[in-house]
Structure 1
């Protein structure tokens, strides 16, 4: 379900990646069972099972950074995830980034990213 807060956040942004983020957003919400969204950290954040799992950062004008995580804090329980896409740039044991500097590439990657997010939230 689309969150009106995310609608408003993106509608008010002049970031050049917003149209591609909207495309990704629609693909994720339609393609990942149980995924919802809200605004957190002034960014669209996707939630599964009550936990924040992926955030789209548009804090830099030249890129969109997808932050894969398991909530705000690093958790101490074991987490293993095999990235079938090779897209994840690991930043910790349960945190990774995928960065796009080209809106067309982000839009084209929506199907692959939907599969990756789906696998991430089920891990």
Structure 2
């Protein structure tokens, strides 16, 4: 899967992809969201199911980002040494996602494939 940073305002060259350096990527604790920091001065929060950003936050000199381990907060760091905290919605994972996550944390891919799980 690939995600592209699209510009928020119209581009001069009619391109919908903004070419900027990606500085940081982090997954939410439940694995359903992704946060990115790039040189275009935006923190983006992506819904992986949608393959599109669901939230934007302006930031200057962004360098890194990370989700709080229990969810609900994203911390971003800047090149000049400052830290900002952003509220992120807490997500209640579906039972299907929780089951997959539990299996993946205790079994290898080959062990999961060998399970007698009925096809769709």
Question: TM class, shorter-chain normalised?
Answer: under 0.3
Give the structure with the higher percent helix.
1
TM-score of the aligned structures, taking structure 2 as reference length: 0.28
Structure with greater contact order relative to length (CA < 8 Å, sep ≥ 6): 1
Larger Rg: 2
